[in-house]
Amino acid sequence: MGNEKLSWQDHIRDVPDFPKPGIIFKDITPMLADGAAFSAAVSELAEFIGPDVDAIVGIESRGFIFGAALANKLGLGLVTVRKPGKLPADIHSVEYELEYGVDRLEIHRDALSSGHKVVIVDDLLATGGTASATVELVQKLGAEVVSCLFVIELGFLSGRKALSGTKVCSLLSYN
């Protein structure tokens, strides 16, 4: 691969009308299936992470893929933020608005504590609802969000606005 950066668009498949008519779904599975592309994506995301980070927080479910790879690469722990009913111990939860209703995310109460510095990772930043709910959960535990990392950002949906005050980095942005 040398020093040249991959063209991320070559590893993202557009799927029209998924999950509903009018939506063009950005599918990362071709990137995941290409070992060199996946490795390069993880390495490039790792470049955004400074030395004073204590843990990676992965958002269900594709955030787990990139979050686990980053945590492993950097020798950090992985904290998972899940959909309701998936975590076995005491949890904090937060509801957030979707374009079509309300959803909820959960985190174990003992996953983080005051003074921890974390980076939140997911595959996609759209409207920012899921990511901002995750920021809220992390802050409920007293931890600090250093930044939020995404493979893809749908800039035209203005998700960064929902994360104002938080550093946001993405590998690929569609404006």
The answer to whether 135 and 73 have CB atoms below 8 angstroms apart is: no
**Measured CA distances, 3 to 10, 50, 169 (Å):** 18, 21, 20
Query: What is the per-residue pLDDT for 9?
Result: 80
**In total, how many domains does the chain have?**
1
The answer to whether 89 and 109 have CB atoms below 8 angstroms apart is: yes
Is residue 20 assigned to a domain? Answer: no
Distance CA 9, CA 82 (A): 28
Distance CA 73, CA 39 (A): 10
Q: Which CATH number goes with the domain that contains 62?
A: 3.40.50.2020
Is residue 58 assigned to a domain? Answer: yes
Please, which residues have CB within 8 angstroms of residue 47's CB and are 6 or more apart in sequence?
A: none
Residue 62 is a catalytic residue: yes
Per residue in 47-71, pLDDT (tens digit) is: 999 999 999 999 999 999 999 999 9
Query: What is the per-residue pLDDT for 1?
Result: 40
pTM comes to 0.94
State mean pLDDT over 6-22.
89
Position 7 pLDDT exceeds 90: no
Q: Which domain holds residue 127?
A: 50-173
Is residue 84 assigned to a domain? Answer: yes
Is residue 61 assigned to a domain? Answer: yes
Q: Which of 62, 136, 144, 160 is catalytic?
A: 62
